[in-house]
Amino acid sequence: MIVAHTVSALCDALHTHRSAGKSIGLVPTMGALHEGHASLVRRCVEENDVCVVSVFVNPTQFNDKNDLASYPRDLQADLRLLESLGAHVVFAPSVEEVYPEPDTRTFSYPPVDTVMEGLRRPGHFNGVCQVVSKLFMFVEPQRAYFGEKDYQQIAVVRAMTTDLSLPVEIIPCPIVREADGLALSSRNALLTPEERTTATAIIRTLRDSLEWKKAMSVEAVQRHVIETIDATEGLRTEYYEIVDGDTLQPVSDWNESNSIVGCITVYCGSRPVRLIDNIRYK
């Protein structure tokens, strides 16, 4: 496994493979890797001749400096895991390598980037598009793999890829969960054991809502999910939206769309830690 810290080293590592016509897949990550990331890497290894994994905590997608500072980092542990998974190239650059000059590009893809996370984290998706577009330019992959836990992010990246006419297939991969249902996330490492247990109420409530849907309206299910989670000590809902799976616009009736997803963000603990999850209704 080759570890490249510069764009030139990355290009050198991929030149022979690209010249030989080998397919290249990319798994973009911010490190602190867990089994969710591992599932993306395994699929990338299986479906491509060359698997590239980027490990880079992108500062332009954080609108909270404290959140950026506290984001978990452990490159050596990440490298050990990636080597065991069969990754071929790891791109682990510095901020200065990715952004030798400030990136002043702006990306706008309403309505998918103006709701939920986009509404509450100004500039977040612009930063995501900045870094992902750069990674696509550096790596030139045929396929890129993203976890469905970040459901809205996939929609935004797809919109960007179409807008820039990039020849990259965006591959969404299912959420990987702990045995108790908690969605795997690098942020879980910031939770105390007690908070970690408390956080499982998020998926329990979402799964219960699949039953509530049978007898309740969209509005009633949305309200009941928020009330149930907020009644759990240590949890506070930032938002819970039931949306069309493609446009990410709110739906008012269960028959309004053939693809309906419930997307949630919850603050857990005293610090607190911001956790996101989603569930598909149809």
- 41 and 169 housed in the same domain: yes
Say if 180 falls within a structural domain: no
- 117 and 213 housed in the same domain: no
* Tokens (6 digits) for 97: 């390598």
Residues of the chain with pLDDT under 50: none
- List Cβ neighbours of 151 (8 Å cut-off, separation of 6 or more): 261, 263, 278
Say if 52 falls within a structural domain: yes
pLDDT, position 180: 93
- 79 and 55 housed in the same domain: yes
Which structural domain, as residue segments, surrounds residue 138?
A: 2-173
pLDDT, position 65: 86
Query: Considering the entire predicted model, what is its pTM?
Result: 0.95
Say if 181 falls within a structural domain: no
- 21 and 99 housed in the same domain: yes
- Tell me the CA distances in angstroms from 17 to 13, 26, 49, 185, one per residue in order: 8, 14, 8, 32
Say if 89 falls within a structural domain: yes
Find tokens 């509450």 and name the residue: 120
Number of structural domains the chain divides into: 2
Amino acid code (one letter) for 58: N
pLDDT, position 11: 97
Active-site residues: which are they? 37
- 196 and 139 housed in the same domain: no
- 166 and 216 housed in the same domain: no
